[in-house]
Chains A and B, each alone.
Chain A
């Protein structure tokens, strides 16, 4: 009989902690990593939940991350819950303040228009969806790096472009059975990568379970 379930490995903590410690040699690197990971979820939330034009949404996203860099991160501690939850709450706060500042400006005569509070009501779906998108994108990149090109190519064609087995076989000049084999391998590999990525963003196994359940219901 084999050993117990593989998930009892000790807690591996993510980039979040190093991104909080300016003295850490990996500080900037971790910070970069964080921004790369969360840029789009934040941007898309601002863009669509707040209904901001593209350029303004980009500006606000940058300002938000700048504010986090300037000390906003300090208020996070793992005991208080998930980092993503924290980030979302921070974003909500940021937007609320931005709105208040804007209305101050407005009273001062500047032409600023911002929406009502109701729009800022937390609708998490969008954020979660974008987070999922980032995860899969990174996972597929990694798949492409770690597996033979033909495997990743099959996977992309099938999952990203909704092509049938036969169409893939024809386009790539391989047998249909090869396509299914490659896909089988790619799926297993991708699941493994996604799991690892999610695990790295979690503090504990329990949180990891929650994450997986919530993300891929």
Chain B
């Protein structure tokens, strides 16, 4: 079985490969630009392929060399061959678009039975997968909207506007793949352009003929994605996506990212509205975005909501048939009553913290047509708050236990572990309410306190996965868990395991981003790793020297000194070092076990058992100590 650390290392194999390819491509480009001949491994038509740049909606994109004009180009190999003739006509039309921010098409052709397009190579990055600060997102989309408006006025619709087709080159926004979606798009619906569908207006997805308004929608959807980090429609497969087009619009952007200004939200929603309510031109959208950026009011508010319209419709209906109105009113008042009751029940349940009841009542109320949006938001907030309170409480319990570890006479008895176990259980429960990195960090700390090293590492790892912001805390915790487990293994005489765990600790440490070298080297965890590495390498004098100089920093260094001394010459000095560690941390249960193991090797089984029993007394579930005690009793 491959463990997590190994899996991470293996995963980087492919990143490494990309880096290597990039380096070799760079040197190839230098040669080409210096006029030297280059032997291409792969070619397409007359074009020599240098390296793959990525994959766009149309297919793979290569950085390639045009040998005739001696320049770099972007060569797109189309995923499906499409209709070459139509592609050529389309390319001719877009070739008329001579605009500095539109990547021009140089050539269209066919090779190896597949169609390809040659475009200007832009040395920049597309916006695919990026989340921008809302104002920056607005700026980018405003610039793109002006470019698109320019093209619309020349009769060309892009049809595939999305983050992946906007490139930032320097500070400028460029639009690529102009007008190419249609000639190739027809048969690509089955999965290939799933990413694209998320940005497609309803009318376009429905296969209607589209004009500039479709691009306006896509610009709005693109802005939604850039500012919120979420595609307006998220689904796994194409079919799901298409069916999603039937359902109500995405949640308002501010619900996903509250830092989006209200006016910006208004603009996004208006750009993504049904066609008759949308901005008519890309310029109107661009102008409004410009107003948002300058802090001026935007042109028009979002249209009246659906419920208001429903209200109007109901009234009209009533005017036509009075008796029906009368019945409707009666029915409505009954439903009204039920709705009100359900909402009151939901509010009451919320006050009592019964979140499941709240959800149920709200679902029922919604079925009766109640607007429960706000209450759902409140519920979500309450769940998050509840989770946070649980985490806070666990934190203070952890602090308390840490203090107790250092308190002489404090008994870390069953009670203590029960408290902490209770805290861990409620934190795990809180993950149901809100799965946050904080919760996993707290769990990691509890498990580490208990000496459950692998569980601790997994929790820390999960925290890092959930939130990059907790990378340092999570990685430090993992390193700590590795070192502590390494110490256990070395004391147990399992050198190989110890070496491996230390190597893992070190690797984590070295790969930890965001910290300067000096900070890393000075970190306690790092010094502990170093100290143990001396022991693991059999350099006991080195270990004693290195660790002795640091015993004032942490009692763990006494332990290092102890084991190194013991390996050199088993005796009093080694035992004294462990005793020193225990003096500093009277409830250092591992140190009791370790001193016990030393005593056992020195032949005093009786004292050994006493120490090991003490370890178990402090930590009743300390498996390693329990096992040793059992061995000794036999």
- B66-81 interface bits toward A, Cβ cutoff 8 Å, 1 = contact, 0 = none: 0000000000010100
B6 sits at the interface (CB 8 A): yes
Out of A3, A194, A205, A212, name the residue touching B79 (CB < 8 Å).
Answer: A205
B237 x A4 contact (CB < 8 A): no
Contact A4 to B7, CB < 8 A, known contacts A81-B237, A119-B432: no
B237 x A116 contact (CB < 8 A): no
Range, interface on chain A: 35 or more
User: Which single residue of chain B is at the shortest CB-CB distance from A84?
Assistant: B236
Contact A8 to B112, CB < 8 A, known contacts A136-B2, A209-B60: yes
CB neighbours (8 Å) of A89 from chain B are 236
CB neighbours (8 Å) of B238 from chain A are 80-81
A131 to B13, CA, bound (A): 16
Contact A206 to B17, CB < 8 A, known contacts A136-B2, A159-B6, A159-B10: no
One of A23-31, A144-152, A160-168 contacting the partner: A160-168
A125 sits at the interface (CB 8 A): yes
B79 x A160 contact (CB < 8 A): no
Contact A4 to B503, CB < 8 A, known contacts A116-B356, A118-B432, A212-B14: no
Shortest CB-to-CB span from B199 to chain A, Å, is: 17
- B51-63 interface bits toward A, Cβ cutoff 8 Å, 1 = contact, 0 = none: 0000100011000
B192 x A136 contact (CB < 8 A): no
CB neighbours (8 Å) of A207 from chain B are 191
CB neighbours (8 Å) of A160 from chain B are 2-3, 6
- A102-129 interface bits toward B, Cβ cutoff 8 Å, 1 = contact, 0 = none: 0000000000000110110101010001
CB neighbours (8 Å) of B507 from chain A are 162
Range, interface on chain B: 35 or more
CB neighbours (8 Å) of B239 from chain A are 79-81
Shortest CB-to-CB span from A181 to chain B, Å, is: 16
A178 sits at the interface (CB 8 A): no
B114 sits at the interface (CB 8 A): yes
A136 to B8, CA, bound (A): 11
CB neighbours (8 Å) of A206 from chain B are 55, 59, 79, 191-192
Q: Which residues of chain A from 1 to 41 have any CB-CB distance to chain B below 8 Å in the complex?
A: 1-5, 8
A8 x B114 contact (CB < 8 A): yes
Shortest CB-to-CB span from A146 to chain B, Å, is: 17
Contact A159 to B9, CB < 8 A, known contacts A81-B237, A206-B192: yes
Shortest CB-to-CB span from B497 to chain A, Å, is: 10
Shortest CB-to-CB span from B539 to chain A, Å, is: 14
B569 sits at the interface (CB 8 A): no
A52 sits at the interface (CB 8 A): no
A5 x B77 contact (CB < 8 A): yes
Out of A8, A129, A163, A194, name the residue touching B503 (CB < 8 Å).
Answer: A163
Out of B6, B13, B236, name the residue touching A190 (CB < 8 Å).
Answer: B13
> Which of A5, A129, A207, A212 has the largest number of chain B CB atoms within 10 A?
A5
A4 x B17 contact (CB < 8 A): no
A5 x B10 contact (CB < 8 A): no
One of B37-45, B264-272, B467-475 contacting the partner: B37-45
A210 to B55, CA, bound (A): 9
A129 x B7 contact (CB < 8 A): yes
Contact A216 to B14, CB < 8 A, known contacts A123-B435, A159-B6, A160-B6: yes
A161 x B59 contact (CB < 8 A): no
> Which of A81, A115, A167, A212 has the largest number of chain B CB atoms within 10 A?
A81
Out of B7, B16, B79, name the residue touching A136 (CB < 8 Å).
Answer: B7
B432 x A116 contact (CB < 8 A): yes
- B95-123 interface bits toward A, Cβ cutoff 8 Å, 1 = contact, 0 = none: 00000000000000001111000000000
- B286-306 interface bits toward A, Cβ cutoff 8 Å, 1 = contact, 0 = none: 000000000000000000000
CB neighbours (8 Å) of B607 from chain A are none
A85 sits at the interface (CB 8 A): yes
B326 sits at the interface (CB 8 A): no
B465 sits at the interface (CB 8 A): yes
B308 sits at the interface (CB 8 A): no
B40 x A162 contact (CB < 8 A): no
A115 x B432 contact (CB < 8 A): yes
A194 to B504, CA, bound (A): 24
A81 to B236, CA, bound (A): 8
Shortest CB-to-CB span from A74 to chain B, Å, is: 17
A191 x B13 contact (CB < 8 A): yes
A96 sits at the interface (CB 8 A): no
B225 sits at the interface (CB 8 A): no
CB neighbours (8 Å) of B236 from chain A are 81, 85, 89
B415 sits at the interface (CB 8 A): no
B13 x A133 contact (CB < 8 A): no
Q: Which residues of chain B from 6 to 41 have any CB-CB distance to chain A below 8 Å in the complex?
A: 6-7, 9-11, 13-17, 40-41
CB neighbours (8 Å) of A164 from chain B are 503
Contact A191 to B14, CB < 8 A, known contacts A137-B2, A209-B60: yes
Shortest CB-to-CB span from A54 to chain B, Å, is: 14
B591 sits at the interface (CB 8 A): no
CB neighbours (8 Å) of B200 from chain A are none
A151 to B539, CA, bound (A): 30
The chain A residues found within 8 Å of chain B, CB to CB, are 1-5, 8, 51, 79-82, 85, 89, 115-116, 118-119, 121, 123, 125, 129, 132-133, 136-137, 140, 159-164, 167, 187, 190-191, 194, 204-207, 209-210, 212-213, 215-216
Shortest 10 CB-CB contacts between residues of A and residues of B: A81-B237, A216-B14, A162-B503, A4-B112, A118-B432, A160-B6, A1-B43, A85-B236, A136-B10, A209-B55
Given contacts A160-B2, A212-B14, 7 further A-B pairs with CB under 8 A are: A1-B40, A5-B77, A80-B238, A137-B2, A164-B503, A194-B14, A210-B55
